Amino acid sequence: MILPRSTEFRELPIHILWSALFLTSVGLVVLKSISQHSSGAFFQNPFSKQLLFLIPAVILCIVIYHTPRSFIHKYSYALYLLGIILVILPFFGAPQAGTHRWLYVGLPFTLQPSEFVKICTITALARYLSDHNLQMKKFTSVIIPIILVLFPTIIILQQPDLGTAIIMIAPILPMLYWAGASFFHLFLLLAPIFSMLTAFHTLAFTTWAVLLALIIFISRPKFMMGLILFFGNIFLGLFSPVLWNGLKPYQQNRILTLVNPGDDPLGAAYQIIQSKTAIGSGGLVGKGWGAGTQTQLKFLPVQESDFILSVMGEELGFIAIAVVLFVFGYFSVQILKFSYLSKDRFSSLVMIGCATVFISHVFVNTAMTVGLIPVKGLPFPFISAGGSFLITSYIMLGLVLKLSINYSD
């Protein structure tokens, strides 16, 4: 790593950097195991592909690290617009595998612009929340940030890519919380989701309605406002079955598969079963590198990205998994710590946004491989193969490293 000034090296949050490099190396070790029998072209081999993508990723990370903080702040809205355009571009091309996720750039690989939009959205949101010395206790101040997030999210949903859309929404709550929004307002943001989820179960919905009424009563908003909030949520809940029917069948399937994995043994549930079998059969120390039968005999699907943790669980065992998850937890909490220590609000918000993206990726990916949530095509940061997301992760790493140093600029 080339550093601008020797004085800064001491200030550099070195644990974050080492954690990221450690996770990247673990990822390469696992990818090498998957790739050892692959006889395809250079780009068919996930290991060499990942190595190749690491070059632009590291370069971008360094570039970002050298970019002045004010520059990032100044152009964050412009970047946001650029991101929106990038995300719309694939819609002009022919759909690939029924989706508009990928962008051809005249290279032997494609790019997934929605990955980069995650960063643009975080910086734009951070700028809005830090520039306007908002009275975050007011509910109306929350509206524009929500629009900022929902705009790209809705486009991504149209691709369609439910997983990425969920990740897009994830940072808004922690960032609003960081910016001083009241607990009650955040609760009101989450309330519709609960209303919809509980609507399918009478007892759950009744309990939720009572809880909702109680919290509104304790928080004492204006009387009319309270009524609107309460009944708005109740009606939303009542309408959710209608909304459910509006979902695409594959989305419904993914959700239903979680409830009863036995229903669809060769579809999404098959993947969960094979993933759990791979992980479970690995035991404490695993079957050995390159010796996972589930992996090497291809029982495990999408093993280089979505199910890479299953490969690790099978071949390297529980100890390796626990170490990786612990390191990632440490990495995330370190970012949170520097976010808390940051002097200016913009840096702090960007960092909590990045931390949220990292954590939600890890949580969704990992919970999926062990059958806790439905199958979502989300990669594991630094470890899964996938050029666009690797580059995105390293850009976020660069941002975090840059912004965690308080004395520059």
Residue 174 binds other proteins (CB under 8 A): yes
Residue 5 binds other proteins (CB under 8 A): no
**Count of CB atoms within 10 A of residue 239's CB?**
13
Residue 250 CB partners (closer than 8 Å, separation 6+):
none
Q: Which is nearer to other proteins, 348 or 388 (CB)?
A: 348
Residue 145 CB partners (closer than 8 Å, separation 6+):
125, 128, 129, 172, 175, 176
Contact residue for other proteins among 237, 282, 379, 381 (CB under 8 A): 282
SS3 214: helix
Residue 290 binds other proteins (CB under 8 A): no
Q: Taking the complex as a whole, how short is the minimal distance between the CB of residue 339 and other proteins, in angstroms?
A: 7
Residue in this structure with the two tokens 């010395």, named with its chain if needed? 133
Contact residue for other proteins among 70, 99, 206, 252 (CB under 8 A): 70
Q: Taking the complex as a whole, how short is the minimal distance between the CB of residue 207 and other proteins, in angstroms?
A: 23
Q: Which is nearer to other proteins, 74 or 138 (CB)?
A: 74
Residue 126 CB partners (closer than 8 Å, separation 6+):
76, 175, 345, 346, 349, 350, 353
Q: Taking the complex as a whole, how short is the minimal distance between the CB of residue 45 and other proteins, in angstroms?
A: 19
Q: Which of residues 300-319 bind other proteins (CB under 8 A)?
A: 313-314, 317-318
Contact residue for other proteins among 5, 245, 297, 407 (CB under 8 A): 297
Residue 399 binds other proteins (CB under 8 A): no
What tokens were used for 226? 């309270």
Contact residue for other proteins among 18, 99, 340, 408 (CB under 8 A): 340
User: Using an 8 Å Cβ cutoff, are 252 and 243 in contact?
Assistant: no
Q: Which helix (H) or strand (E) holds 104?
A: strand 103-104
Contact residue for other proteins among 82, 186, 197, 367 (CB under 8 A): 367
Q: Taking the complex as a whole, how short is the minimal distance between the CB of residue 290 and other proteins, in angstroms?
A: 14
Beta pairing partners, 208: none
Sign of CA dihedral 54, 57, 60, 62: negative
342-to-282, 338, 394 alpha-carbon distances in Å: 42, 6, 20
In this structure, the strands spanning 110-111 and 103-104 are antiparallel
Q: By CB under 8 A, name the binding residues for other proteins.
A: 69-70, 73-74, 130-131, 133, 174, 177-180, 274, 276-284, 293-294, 297-299, 313-314, 317-318, 321-322, 325-326, 328-329, 332-333, 336-337, 339-340, 342-348, 352, 355, 359, 362-363, 366-367, 370, 372
